[in-house]
């Protein structure tokens, strides 16, 4: 059953949200919240004309009044939203940091996906906490929950906080103390904190195992609400999920009415922006007509947009989300050309043309390759021109280099398949990290965010930086675990598991899958390290790159009939549902 794309046709231009601020003095009491249940699944990722919201002409005497009512409602929401934002902002300056209320507030704002309104206030709180951490014995008399919360929030923002702070919870036998066994709140916070481990931090590995085992066992004796909250924490730790996609799991059980009201109103405003963007993407995709030239290729503009929506969560980045979705769509289409359509000879010519950025070199190729190359050529130049106009730097050479690197890797895989060659697992993964498309996407995102205004800054994207390779490895390995069931490729893609089994005779599939999960865990540790300060990237870029990694399990957790039931549920809640609180 297709999604009903309940899209408001407000404007054909870029969507923007303006938030003004008004004063109020009402108090706020921050508190924790719980996860909620999962909805029924839906299946499709394409958007057809019949799915668009229909509109009908108003009677003449209704038009003016209807227009006035809509404007009035929007203005009232803007004023109400501004008052709520300012109320929270004023209150953040008053919270009691002696009782960790400041960090509880930050945690609440992040989980409710409204923290982007309060970046200055949050940074002030965290800088103060970090200075306390490096200059005093901040954690000497704090409990497991408080230490774990502070560690997670500081590391999540890139602060260098040592994991040695958890040694205070170990006994003489170097194991975590038994008195912690019944501290459910503390154990949940410890498990959340352990997700930010980097390579070699054994104490955080031990913390993850210790807290997971105790929490998993404790669910049997907890009441339904407590067990639900614990289960959600174990399955969806905050650091490895996109907050916006988990909002429904928190807001419905959140006890503070002011934050709840702000989160609900903010969600509705952001939802309107996303609906408008999706409408623009679907119109652009129909006008491109590539799916008519490539009947077997994927026709999934909604799914492609979800990557951008998850990566760039700030509603002000509307233009960047739309342009990034165009890039992502071409990654999928070119992947299908290499997997399904082209011969090795045709693909070689196609790849050479991209390496030379030569549109005249494709004259001898089939029409579908010509149209795809032209789309790539036009969109890449369009993005480069936008970046130049906005930031004064032309990234065209870096953009084309990323496409050439991708197609070179695609061609290697195509030759492997044509010759029935099974590469070594390591060799496969080195190529697979590139063919995941992550490098192309992150390179384009880097420039769309204005992170480079000269060649030295642009050179950061010329090498396969640790952030890029880590996210690429996470995506490639999850893709292989899910066997890419949305692709119409009839076995044309390889698989790390197949390469690993071929290399390790007698190894079971289960052991191979466990090995893959270990590689994914190690890649997350490297990504965590690369995102710590100092690093050469903006906070917006590192968050967006991490959000792509966070989105991967949703994109490749297939159910029966090659469906994505969990992702379907999230999308229905994010784009089409309203809060009924």
pLDDT tens-digit profile of 128-151?
999 988 877 767 778 999 999 999
Q: Evaluate the omega torsion of the peptide bond into residue 534 and state whether it is cis, within 30 degrees of 0.
A: yes
Do residues 239 and 135 both lie within one domain?
yes
How does residue 366 score in pLDDT terms, banded at 50, 70 and 90?
Answer: very high
Calpha distance 84→258 (Å, rounded):
7
Question: What's the whole-number average pLDDT of the chain?
Answer: 85
Examine the pLDDT at 466 and tell me if it is beyond 70.
yes
CATH, residue 552: 1.10.600.10
570 lies in a domain? Answer: no
581 lies in a domain? Answer: no
44 lies in a domain? Answer: no
Number of structural domains the chain divides into: 2
Report pLDDT for 73.
77
State pLDDT tens for residues 268-297. 999 999 999 999 999 999 999 888 888 877
Report pLDDT for 578.
61
Do residues 124 and 238 both lie within one domain?
yes
Q: Which residues contact 529 (CB under 8 A, 6 or more apart)?
A: 198, 199, 466
Report pLDDT for 571.
78
334 lies in a domain? Answer: yes
Examine the pLDDT at 20 and tell me if it is beyond 70.
no
Calpha distance 343→356 (Å, rounded):
20
* CA 123-125-129 angle, 5° bins: 115
Task: Enumerate the β-bridge partners of residue 170.
Answer: 176
Examine the pLDDT at 375 and tell me if it is beyond 70.
yes
The mean pLDDT value for 319-328 works out to 98
Report pLDDT for 94.
86
CB 75 within 8 A of CB 106: no
What token pair was written down for 75?
Answer: 């203005």
The mean pLDDT value for 455-478 works out to 92
CATH, residue 165: 1.50.10.130
275 lies in a domain? Answer: no
How does residue 501 score in pLDDT terms, banded at 50, 70 and 90?
Answer: very high
State pLDDT tens for residues 54-95. 333 444 444 444 444 556 678 889 999 999 999 999 989 888
Do residues 103 and 219 both lie within one domain?
yes
Examine the pLDDT at 356 and tell me if it is beyond 70.
yes
Q: Which residues contact 261 (CB under 8 A, 6 or more apart)?
A: 84
Do residues 441 and 344 both lie within one domain?
yes
Do residues 351 and 412 both lie within one domain?
yes
Report pLDDT for 560.
54
Examine the pLDDT at 3 and tell me if it is beyond 80.
no
Within 10 A of 165 (CB to CB), how many other CB atoms are there? 19
How does residue 493 score in pLDDT terms, banded at 50, 70 and 90?
Answer: low
**How far is CA 283 from its chain centroid?**
24
Examine the pLDDT at 170 and tell me if it is beyond 80.
yes
Report pLDDT for 142.
87
Domain range for 252: 59-259
Which has the higher per-residue pLDDT, 5 or 140?
140
306 lies in a domain? Answer: yes
Do residues 381 and 250 both lie within one domain?
no
569 lies in a domain? Answer: no
Calpha distance 150→97 (Å, rounded):
11
145 lies in a domain? Answer: yes
Report pLDDT for 50.
41
Report pLDDT for 110.
96
What is the DSSP track for 401-413? HHHHHHHHHHHHH
Examine the pLDDT at 469 and tell me if it is beyond 60.
yes
Report pLDDT for 135.
79
Q: Which of 259, 280, 303 is the last residue of a domain?
A: 259
Do residues 542 and 500 both lie within one domain?
yes
Examine the pLDDT at 385 and tell me if it is beyond 80.
yes
Calpha distance 191→209 (Å, rounded):
8
Do residues 391 and 488 both lie within one domain?
yes
pTM over cut 0.75: yes
Report pLDDT for 10.
33
Which has the higher per-residue pLDDT, 141 or 397?
397
What token pair was written down for 387?
Answer: 């970046």
- Ramachandran category for residue 482: left, alpha or beta (phi over 0 → left; psi -120 to 50 → alpha): alpha
Do residues 390 and 458 both lie within one domain?
yes
Report pLDDT for 32.
33
* Percent of the chain predicted with pLDDT > 70: 83
Do residues 226 and 301 both lie within one domain?
no
Which has the higher per-residue pLDDT, 22 or 487?
487
What is the DSSP track for 121-150? HHHHHHHHHHHHHHHS-TTTT--HHHHHHH
Q: Which residues contact 513 (CB under 8 A, 6 or more apart)?
A: 481, 497
Do residues 241 and 321 both lie within one domain?
no
Do residues 248 and 293 both lie within one domain?
no
Report pLDDT for 561.
55
Examine the pLDDT at 259 and tell me if it is beyond 90.
yes
What token pair was written down for 10?
Answer: 């407000």
């Amino acid at each position: 059953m297709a999604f009903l794309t309940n899209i408001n046709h407000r404007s054909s231009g870029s969507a923007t949200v303006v938030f003004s601020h008004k004063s109020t003095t009402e108090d706020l009491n921050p508190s924790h919240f719980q996860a909620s249940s999962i909805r029924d699944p839906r299946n499709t990722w394409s958007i057809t004309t019949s799915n668009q919201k229909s509109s009908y002409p108003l009677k003449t005497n209704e038009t003016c009044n209807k227009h006035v009512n809509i404007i009035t409602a929007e203005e009232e929401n803007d004023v109400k939203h501004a008052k709520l934002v300012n109320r929270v902002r004023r209150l953040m300056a008053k919270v009691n940091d002696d009782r960790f209320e400041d960090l509880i507030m930050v945690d609440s704002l992040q989980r409710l996906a409204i923290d982007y309104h309060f970046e200055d206030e949050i940074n002030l709180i965290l800088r103060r906490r970090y200075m306390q951490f490096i200059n005093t014995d901040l954690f000497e008399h704090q409990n497991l929950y408080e230490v774990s919360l502070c560690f997670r929030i500081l590391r999540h923002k890139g602060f260098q906080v040592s994991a040695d702070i958890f040694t205070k919870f170990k006994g003489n036998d170097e194991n975590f103390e038994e008195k912690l066994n019944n501290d459910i709140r503390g154990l949940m916070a410890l498990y959340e904190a352990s997700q930010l481990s980097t390579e070699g931090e054994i104490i955080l590995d031990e913390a993850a195992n210790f807290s997971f085992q105790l929490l998993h066992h404790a669910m049997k004796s907890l009441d339904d609400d407590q067990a639900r909250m614990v289960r959600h924490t174990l399955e969806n730790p905050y650091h490895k999920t996109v907050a916006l996609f988990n909002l429904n799991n928190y807001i419905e059980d959140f006890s503070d009415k002011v934050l709840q009201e702000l989160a609900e109103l903010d969600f509705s405003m952001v939802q309107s922006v996303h609906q408008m963007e999706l409408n623009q993407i679907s119109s652009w995709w129909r006008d491109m007509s590539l799916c008519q030239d490539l009947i077997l290729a994927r026709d999934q503009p909604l799914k492609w947009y979800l990557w951008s929506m998850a990566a760039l969560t700030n509603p002000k980045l509307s233009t960047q989300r739309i342009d990034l979705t165009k890039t992502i769509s071409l990654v999928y289409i070119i992947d299908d050309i290499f997997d399904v359509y082209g011969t090795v000879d045709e693909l070689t010519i196609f790849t050479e043309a991209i390496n030379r950025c030569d549109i005249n070199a494709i004259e001898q190729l089939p029409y579908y390759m010509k149209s795809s190359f032209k789309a790539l050529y036009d969109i890449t130049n369009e993005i480069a021109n936008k970046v130049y106009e906005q930031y004064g730097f032309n990234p065209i050479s870096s953009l084309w280099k990323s496409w050439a690197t991708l197609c070179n890797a695609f061609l290697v895989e195509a030759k492997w398949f044509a010759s029935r060659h099974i590469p070594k697992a390591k060799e496969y993964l080195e190529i697979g990290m590139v063919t995941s498309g992550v490098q192309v996407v992150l390179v384009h995102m880097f420039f769309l965010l204005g992170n480079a205004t000269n060649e030295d800054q642009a050179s950061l994207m010329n090498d396969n930086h640790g952030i890029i390779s880590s996210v690429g490895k996470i995506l490639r390995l999850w893709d292989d675990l899910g066997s890419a069931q949305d692709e119409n490729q009839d076995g044309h893609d390889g698989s790390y598991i197949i390469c690993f089994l071929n290399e390790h005779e007698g190894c079971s599939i289960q052991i191979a899958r466990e090995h893959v999960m270990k590689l994914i865990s190690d890649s997350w540790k490297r990504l965590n390290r690369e995102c710590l300060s100092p690093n050469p990237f903006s906070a917006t870029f590192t968050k967006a790159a991490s959000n792509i990694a966070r989105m991967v399990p949703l994109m490749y957790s297939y159910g029966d009939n090659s469906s994505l039931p969990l992702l379907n549920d999230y999308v229905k809640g994010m784009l089409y549902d309203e809060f009924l609180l």
